[in-house]
Amino acid sequence: MAPPGQRDYSTARLSRHALERFVERFGVPADRAEGDLRGALARTRRLGRNPANEAVAVLAIYRGKVLVAIVNGSTCLTVLTWPQFEPRMPEFGRAHLPRKRGRMLRRLADPGPAPEV
């Protein structure tokens, strides 16, 4: 379960395009791509929604690199690096990132407290 303010998209259907872009852009071996991408999508922060097609952009961290996944419904359509997504932010209703970007990224990267049993 994701901490407050974060969402778990690890159960989303991964399109072939998303897996291919993940392999290409993050240098992941193709045989490990699905598991690694699901792991990264387990802790995400929503960036915004595109009103034209209802797609949602979510921010995640993969091995210290910022990853942006575009999710529509229950399907992950594609994966972008931050420089690829930044010019498209206005399409998702954002002129810029939240003021405390560093804190947001640290919260995604930190494992957080262990869940109580």
The alpha helices in the chain, defined as continuous H runs, are 16-26, 33-41, 82-85, 101-109
Write out the E strands in the chain.
Answer: 13-14, 45-49, 56-62, 65-72, 75-81
Per-chain mean pLDDT for the chain: 86
Token pair, residue 116, equals: 């109580």
Q: What is the pTM of this model?
A: 0.84
pLDDT at position 2 is 62
Give residue 94's pLDDT: 77
pLDDT along the chain (117 residues), means of 10: 79 96 95 95 90 93 92 95 88 76 74 56
Give one word for 73, left, alpha or beta, with left for phi > 0 and alpha for psi -120 to 50.
left
The pLDDT value recorded for residue 33 is: 95
Residue among 61, 16, 22 at smallest CA distance from 42: 61
Per cent of the chain over pLDDT 90 is 57
How many CB atoms are closer than 10 A to CB 28? 19
Separation between Cα atoms, residue 115 and residue 117, nearest integer Å: 6
